[in-house]
Amino acid sequence: MNWKHYFNTSIGKKLQMSLTGLFLILFLIVHCYVNAQIFYNDGGVRFNEAAHFMGTNFLIRAIEFGLFGFLILHIVQGLMLWSSNRAKRTNRYAVSAGNQTSKWYSRSMALLGTLILLFLVLHLSKFWAPNRYSQLSGNGEKNLFEMMRDEFQMSWVVIVYTFGCISLGWHLVHGFYSSFQTLGLGTHKYKGFIKSIGIAFSIIVPLIFAAMPVAFFMQWIK
């Protein structure tokens, strides 16, 4: 047996989900920190500085490849797990336990993940893709702050972003705890602690993200 095999067992696949998930959580922290610069309300000076660093630093750009790799792995593996798990019960129950024995969001990770994915497509096409395209075609970086200000004037975009953040929040409530449980840290000693941190994280980070489009839309940030 080899590494490939170990990562292809049911626990191995979960480890993939857990590790890529934790990486994405780290990314969220960085992303959130950088974007939160807009709340200085300084016409985007600090934000654009940070964005410039993130968009041009060689190391960060290299990690960006990894990020996309992990993101795609997380998505593909997640959807494959979902479909293979579904296939393990061909005849379904007529009556299900529903929320009596488990939380809805823990059963709906694939759905929440798909919603996040749809949101991501929109999100990337609005900001990341045009910016990188501009960089690659030699036109330099775009002013991301201005892009945000413009985009978030459209109410439908703000609504989609809000829903995206809500999906992210619920996905994280389960995902955060679940990653640690998969790594074997869900023990008596740490479980409560991990769950609390997870819930706090799942509320705070998506809330900050959601606050951005709302703040632009409400003209709190100009």
Partner 1 sequence: MNLTLKVWKQKNNKTQGAFETFKVSNISSEMSFLEMFDVLNEQLVAEGKEPVAFDHDCREGICGMCSMYINGRAHGPWTHNTTCQLHMREYKDGDTIVVEPWRANAFPVIKDLVVNRSSFDRIIQSGGYISVNTGNAVDANALPVEKQKADDSFAAAMCIGCGACVAACPNASAMLFVSAKVSHLSLLPQGEPERKARAVNMVNQMDTEGFGSCTNIGACEAECPKGISLENIARLNREYISAVLSGSANSA
Q: What is the chain's Cα-based Rg?
A: 19
Q: What crossing angle do the helices spanning 129-136 and 144-151 adopt, rounded to 10°?
A: 140
For partner 1, the binding residue among 4, 59, 65, 91 (CB under 8 A) is 91
User: Would you say 199 and 166 are in contact if contact means Cβ atoms under 8 Å apart?
Assistant: no
* Cβ proximity to partner 1, 92 vs 222, nearer residue: 92
Q: Which of residues 48-77 bind partner 1 (CB under 8 A)?
A: none
Provide CB contacts within 8 A for 97, sequence distance 6+.
none
Asked if 192 interacts with partner 1 (CB under 8 A), we say no
Q: In the structure encoding, which two tokens stand for residue 132, read together?
A: 């990188």
- Least distance (Å) from partner 1 to the CB of residue 73? 15
* Cβ proximity to partner 1, 83 vs 155, nearer residue: 83
For partner 1, the binding residue among 186, 197, 199, 214 (CB under 8 A) is 186
Stretch of 8-16, 32-40, 134-142, 149-157 lying at the interface with partner 1 (CB under 8 A):
8-16
Q: In the structure encoding, which two tokens stand for residue 212, read together?
A: 């951005």
* Cβ proximity to partner 1, 110 vs 160, nearer residue: 110
What is the rounded distance in angstroms from the CA atom of residue 199 to the CA atom of residue 122? 26
Return the number of other C-beta atoms located less than 10 Å from residue 204's C-beta.
Answer: 12
Asked if 97 interacts with partner 1 (CB under 8 A), we say yes
Asked if 84 interacts with partner 1 (CB under 8 A), we say yes
- Least distance (Å) from partner 1 to the CB of residue 221? 38
Site string for partner 1, 9-28 (x = CB under 8 A): xxx-xxx-------------
* Cβ proximity to partner 1, 14 vs 142, nearer residue: 14
- Least distance (Å) from partner 1 to the CB of residue 72? 19
User: Would you say 50 and 31 are in contact if contact means Cβ atoms under 8 Å apart?
Assistant: no
Q: Is the CA virtual torsion 69, 71, 73, 75 positive or negative?
A: negative
Q: Counting Cβ atoms within 10 Å, is residue 152 exposed (0-12), middle (13-18) or buried (19+)?
A: buried
The number of angstroms, rounded, from the C-alpha of 201 to the middle of its chain's C-alpha atoms is 12
Asked if 100 interacts with partner 1 (CB under 8 A), we say yes
Asked if 178 interacts with partner 1 (CB under 8 A), we say yes
Q: Which residues here bind partner 1, judged by CB under 8 A?
A: 1, 3, 6, 9-11, 13-15, 81, 84-85, 87-98, 100-103, 106-107, 109, 174, 177-178, 181-188, 191
